[in-house]
Every structure is written in C-alpha cells, then in structure tokens.
Amino acid sequence: MGGRFDGGFFPGPGLELVLVALVLFAGPVLAVAEPIDVRITPVPLSADDPGLEIAGRLKYRGGIHLVADDPTFGGLSALGVSDDGKRMVALSDRGRRFSARLVYDETGNLAGLRNTDLATMAGLDGAPLSSRDDGDAESMSPGIEGEIIVAFERRHRLWRYLPGVTVPEPLPGPDEMQDLPFNNGIEALTLLADGSLLALSEGKQGRKQTVGWISSRDGWSVLTFPTPDGFRVTGAATMAGGDVLVLERFFTLRGSNRVRLKRISAATIKPGGVLAGTVIARLRPPLTVDNFEGIDVRKEPGGENFIYLVSDDNFNPEQRTLLMMFELME
C-alpha cells in the first residue's frame, strides 16, 4: 500500500507513514493458523466502581478477559489493530500469533471477539519456532512495504515477514542490541511518520534511563528514555499526527501492578533525543490492571483516537489476558 524502502531496509527521509493493514491481517504467512476457542468475559475499568469510565485523559471503551484451554495460548506481548478497528493480531513470547475479529456493542465499545485463530511463527529455515529462546517476540511494527517487523529478545534480533512469505528475513539492528541483557531486549518498536523505526529497550530495574534507537538510511542512532521511578518500557504506538504513545509498567509477580501511558512529542524523537514525554494516564488498583505489554492506536475518520492494550499473563494462573480499549480525550 504505497511507500518503498530507499536503499534497503532503512527508508529515506520524507516518506509518508503507511500503516499497512495487509501486513498484520492478511499479509505475511507466519504459519498455518488453526481456529481456537476463546471464552470472553467483559471487565469493567473498576470492579469497585463499575460505572467508572475515566482514567487520566482516557475514557474507557470496553474490555474483555480472554481464556482458552489451549496451553499455548497466552503471553501476549505485542499488539496490532487494523485501521478500521475490525481486526487484531497479537504476538506471544512463545512465538505464537493470535488473531481475531473485534466485536463492538451498539455504542461502539469493545465487547468481544470472533474468528479467533492461533498460529506458530516460522523461523529462518521455515520451521515453526519451537523454543522459548527462539520465539520470544516482544514487539512488532508494520513496515512500509506491507511487511511486519518483529523484535525478539533472549536471542536479540529483528526479523521481517514479507506479504505472502512464510520465511522471515533478518534485518540489521542497532550494534548495541547484542549487548542488551538476556531478558531485557527491545520491548517497543513502532514505525514513525517519516518512515523510520523507533526501538526502545526495556531497561534494567533501578536504572534512571533506558536506551533506544531511531533508524535512518545510514543505520541506527541512539536516544534515551528516562525511567527514574521503577517503571519500564513495554510498548509503543505512533499516532496519526506523529506523536508516539509509550506504555510503561511496574510489575511484580506478587502483585502491585501499575501501568502508565506517556505521550512523546514527535519533535523530540531524533538522534540524541531524550524522550521525556507527558503522562496522560495511570492504571493501578483498584482499577483493572495486569501486566500490560502490547499497545496500538488508531484514528477514526471523525478524529477520535482509540487506544488498545493487551496484557501478558506469563502463563501464570494468577494473572489474566486482558484486551482493553480507551478513547483519548484531547
């Protein structure tokens, strides 16, 4: 759907952002998908106050709890929603791709899923990714040629899956990527308005900032994202106007989960930049919250910005796979 790569993987300046629905929802053949039965339960923004709709600058537009008997379902760490809001795809940290059609109620709130299926992503040899170390997909982004670009951690790498092609191809990542900790790789990956990629690492607990990169035709340039208070980056999504939403979480297996959403001005996203941003919402108990790692945003023709979040349950029965939808109040 328009756009091209100028000189290889990295786009030249001035390319328009083209979020290609074909990529995520009908394009790259990551593996043969099989239908999966997923049980859906609606969740309020607050169980203590079911009528509550507002969190910061977000208005709650519905959410669901997803449960499946298939033991490979869960661990959803990356999320994509089609521009029309009809389809979603999520990648897990076990190398699975979950896709579904989104269902809304008469008010336009998220109410359920249908046509759910699950597939195993393919590796460079075309075989399914079978190990945790190989399949730990943590973030993804559409590219500008109809591909999907996936960042893996543990074995840190970037792969892209081209439309209609099962086998991915490796992409050159930042030189520093291989120096990242085993389980703290690139957690956020998003295509910017000029066609470049923004990648942010999760960062180490206790560090005051984490490293990120922005791509160009010459390679990758370093920038930083402040993390002064224990929150860590888990996802990013580019808004239609060029600003970027960054999802952060403060998570422990003992509970006390908290989520924060920041808006980063497009003007600060440049080599050497510091992406301080502005907090637009916080989610913490008694609000409904879990280990949110995936985020996407889309803009309606009428101007409304809808934000979707998905949680990684870590295959832990004490956690939940949640999909929640919000409207940004400008």
pLDDT in tens, 149-176: 999 988 999 999 888 788 999 999 999 8
Indicate if the pLDDT at residue 56 is higher than 90.
yes
User: Do residues 315 and 44 make contact, with C-beta atoms less than 8 angstroms apart?
Assistant: no
Q: Is residue 164 part of a domain?
A: yes
Q: Is residue 12 part of a domain?
A: no
- The percentage of the chain sitting over the pLDDT mark of 90, rounded to a whole number, equals 71
Residue type, 18: V
For 93-129, letters b (16+ CB in 10 Å) and e give: bbbbbbbbebeeeeeeebbbbeebebbbbbbeeeebb
Residue among 11, 291, 285, 286 at smallest CA distance from 147: 11
Q: Is residue 5 part of a domain?
A: no
Q: What angle do CA 203, 208, 212 make, to 5 degrees?
A: 45
Q: Which residues contact 274 (CB under 8 A, 6 or more apart)?
A: 223, 224, 225, 226, 268
Report the number of distinct structural domains present in the chain: 1
**CATH classification at residue 223:** 2.120.10
Indicate if the pLDDT at residue 111 is higher than 90.
yes
**pLDDT tens-digit profile of 252-284?**
666 678 999 999 999 999 999 999 999 999 999
Q: Is residue 3 part of a domain?
A: no
Q: Is residue 16 part of a domain?
A: no
Q: Is residue 13 part of a domain?
A: no
Indicate if the pLDDT at residue 2 is higher than 80.
no
Q: Is residue 296 part of a domain?
A: yes
Write a three-state SS string for the chain: CCCCCCCCCCCCCCCCCCCCHHHHHCCCCCCCCEECCEEEEECCCECCCCCCCEECCEEEEEEEEEEECCCCCCCEEEEEECCCCCEEEEEECCCEEEEEEEEECCCCCEEEEEEEEEEECECCCCCECCCHHHHCEEEEEECCCCCEEEEECCCCEEEEECCCCCCCEEECCCHHHHHCCCCCCEEEEEECCCCCEEEEECCCCCCCEEEEEEEECCEEEEEEEECCCCCEEEEEEECCCCCEEEEEEEEECCEEEEEEEEEECHHHCCCCCECCCEEEEEECCCECCCCEEEEEEEECCCCCEEEEEEECCCCCCCCCEEEEEEEECC
**pLDDT tens-digit profile of 24-52?**
454 454 556 899 999 999 999 999 999 99
Q: Is residue 36 part of a domain?
A: yes
Q: What is the mean pLDDT of residues 280-304?
A: 95
Which class for 56: exposed (0-12), middle (13-18), buried (19 or more C-beta within 10 A)?
Answer: middle
Find the domain containing 146 and state its range: 21-328
> CA-to-CA distance for 160 and 15, rounded, in angstroms?
19
Would you state the pLDDT for residue 282? 97
Q: What is the pTM of this model?
A: 0.90
Indicate if the pLDDT at residue 82 is higher than 80.
yes
